[in-house]
C-alpha cells in the first residue's frame, strides 16, 4: 500500500472496507437500479411478445440505464459519501486528500470510470482484489478510498 495512504488511515483510525462488503453493496445498488428500470419500462416489457422483443426493449434503453447509474452514483456519493448499498453495508467513499465526501467532480469521475470498468468485463473491480489499498480503477482515477463508516 502507498505509505502516505497507510499513514493517513492509521493516523485517522480509518479502516478500509472489505471486498465482501463492497461486493454486497454493489449487488444491492445493481438490484435497486434494475428494479427501477423494470418499473420504468414495465409497459414495454409487458407488450413484448417474444424473447427477442424483450431483448430489443432492454437494448434500446442501454444509454438511459448508463446515465441513470452515473447520476445515481454521483448524487449519492456527493451528498452522503455512499450509495444506498454502501449505507446498508456501513461503508462509505472518501477523498484521500480531504477524508471527506467526494466533490461533485470527483464523484462524477468515479461514476463514469465505474461504468467503463463494468463495460470492460469488470477488470477495474477485479483490480481491487490485488491492490493493497483495495482501489478499483474508478477509485484510482477519482483519488478515493472505500472505508468502514
Enumerate the domain spans of the chain: 3-148
Q: Tell me: pLDDT of 1 over 90.
A: no
Alpha-carbon distance of 51 to 55, in angstroms, equals 6
Closest residue by Cα to residue 58 from 23, 34, 74? 34
Alpha-carbon distance of 136 to 143, in angstroms, equals 10
pLDDT digits (tens, 9 = 90+) for 65-116: 999 999 999 999 999 999 999 999 999 999 999 999 999 999 999 999 999 9
For the full predicted model, state whether its pTM sits above 0.95: no
Amino acid at each position: 500500500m502507498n505509505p502516505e495512504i497507510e499513514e493517513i488511515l492509521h493516523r485517522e483510525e480509518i479502516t478500509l472496507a472489505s471486498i465482501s462488503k463492497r461486493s454486497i453493496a454493489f449487488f444491492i445498488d445493481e438490484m435497486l437500479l434494475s428494479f427501477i428500470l423494470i418499473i420504468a419500462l414495465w409497459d414495454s416489457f409487458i407488450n413484448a411478445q417474444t424473447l427477442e422483443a424483450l431483448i430489443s426493449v432492454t437494448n434500446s434503453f442501454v444509454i438511459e440505464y448508463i446515465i441513470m447509474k452515473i447520476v445515481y452514483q454521483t448524487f449519492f456519493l456527493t451528498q452522503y459519501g455512499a450509495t444506498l448499498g454502501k449505507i446498508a453495508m456501513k461503508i462509505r467513499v472518501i477523498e484521500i486528500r480531504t477524508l471527506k465526501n467526494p466533490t461533485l467532480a470527483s464523484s462524477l469521475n468515479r461514476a463514469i470510470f465505474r461504468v467503463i470498468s463494468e463495460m470492460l468485463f469488470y477488470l477495474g473491480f477485479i483490480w481491487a482484489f490485488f491492490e493493497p489499498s483495495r482501489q478499483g480503477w474508478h477509485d484510482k482515477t477519482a483519488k478515493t478510498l472505500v472505508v468502514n463508516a
